[in-house]
Amino acid sequence: MARPTATVTRPPRALPARPAARRRRLEPKYVYGTASVIVVIGLWQLVAVLRIKPAIVLPGPSDVITAFGTLFSSDTIWTDLATSGKELLYGLVLATVIGLPVGLLIGWYARLSYVLNPLITFLYATPRIALTPLLIIWLGIGDASKIAIVFLMAVFPILINSASGVQNLDPQVLRVARCFGAGHLQIFRTIALPGSVPFIVSGLRLAVGQALIGVFVAELSGATHGVGMLMNTAGQQFQTSVVFAGLFIFAITGVVLTGLLRRVERRYAAWRPQA
């Protein structure tokens, strides 16, 4: 009698994993955002081709691209970019160095907020652009007055958001930390500061837009170089396509900086203490 032969079943061979890049799909926000931009540019170009408005009033995208090529083929545009970039960088750094610690202290110490809030409210309610003549009188028409204007435009979003981040902490988390014997410095370092990071980054994002406005306004008064001065001169000479090119330089700068800050915000959003 023949012995039954044992059959050995092999596990099915695992299929090779697809690369992550192939499995990854485009997020709807990127698809819709890109589509909307393409539609707007297409409608803009259609209006320009049909000449519903003359080119001196509304140049088309092709005219703006030509203006970009003309600008970047010259040497002066690099000086203008360097001047505006320096004013933007110095103003933002100064606003962060001063606004961030002052905002955190105001949010943490109630008595300090009672002292400084009236002054902050007064300055915040005042149109900072209206202070431009005074800053020029006090600091001259050089870089100092322009950096001061950028600083005044950018400091308040950072300061107010930093203070709001500390003031909006969950009181139950603070109460539990005090029950476990944590001191003020330890609570501030481990709870208040991490919990305020999303608010701080949001304030920085708002400050970028305000700082760009400050750069443009500052360069309208006695500037010799800068993208704002370039746009002002082109507007006086009815070079509308150059004005649009300068506008896009400001817009692209704001989009890039805001995108970087969004990445930082997503990176540190988990720092917010959970109840």
| Domain extents in the chain | 27-58, 61-271
Reported as a pLDDT band with limits 50, 70 and 90, residue 206 is very high
| 137 contacts: CB under 8 Å, gap ≥ 6 | none
Pick the more confident residue, 271 or 31. Answer: 31
CATH code linked to domain 61-271: 1.10.3720.10
Q: Is the pLDDT of residue 159 over 50?
A: yes
pLDDT at residue 224 tops 90: no
Q: Which of 50-64, 76-90, 237-251 has the lowest mean pLDDT?
A: 50-64
pLDDT at 22 over 70: no
Residue 96: predicted pLDDT? 95
Q: How far apart, in whole angstroms, are the C-alpha atoms of residue 181 and residue 179?
A: 5
Confidence check: pLDDT of 21 > 50: no
Who contacts 254 (Cβ-Cβ below 8 Å, separation ≥6)? 208, 209, 212
**Model pLDDT, residue 271:** 54
Would the pLDDT of 6 be above 50?
Answer: no
Here the tokens at position 123 are 């300055």
Structure-token pair, residue 241? 């396509």
Burial class (CB in 10 A: 0-12, 13-18, 19+), 40: exposed
Q: By the 8 A CB rule, do 234 and 219 touch?
A: no
The whole-angstrom separation of Cα 87 and Cα 151 is 9
* 19: region left, alpha or beta (phi > 0 left; psi from -120 to 50 alpha): beta
201 or 3, which is more confident: 201
The pLDDT value given to residue 246: 94
* Strands (E) located in the chain: none
Q: What mean pLDDT is predicted for residues 181-187? A: 74
Task: Give pLDDT, residue 51.
Answer: 78
pLDDT at 265 > cutoff 50: yes
Residue-wise DSSP of 150-202? HHHHHHHHHHHHHHHHHHTS-HHHHHHHHHTT--HHHHIIIIIHHHHHHHHHH
220 pLDDT exceeds 80? yes
pLDDT higher than threshold 80 for residue 250: yes
Contact 154, 240 (CB under 8 A): no
Averaged pLDDT, 223-239 = 90
Mean pLDDT of all residues belonging to the chain: 84
**Segment 45-56 mean pLDDT:** 81
Confidence of residue 193 (pLDDT cuts 50, 70, 90): confident
Average pLDDT over residues 6-16: 51
Indicate whether 37 pLDDT > 60. Answer: yes
* pLDDT value at 216 more than 90: yes
Q: Lowest-pLDDT range, 51-60, 107-116, 206-215, 253-262?
A: 51-60
Tens of pLDDT, residue by residue over 78-104, are 999 999 999 999 999 999 999 999 999
Q: How far apart are CA 126 and CA 145, in angstroms?
A: 18
Asked whether the beta carbons of 227 and 81 are under 8 A apart, the reply is: yes
pTM score, whole prediction = 0.81
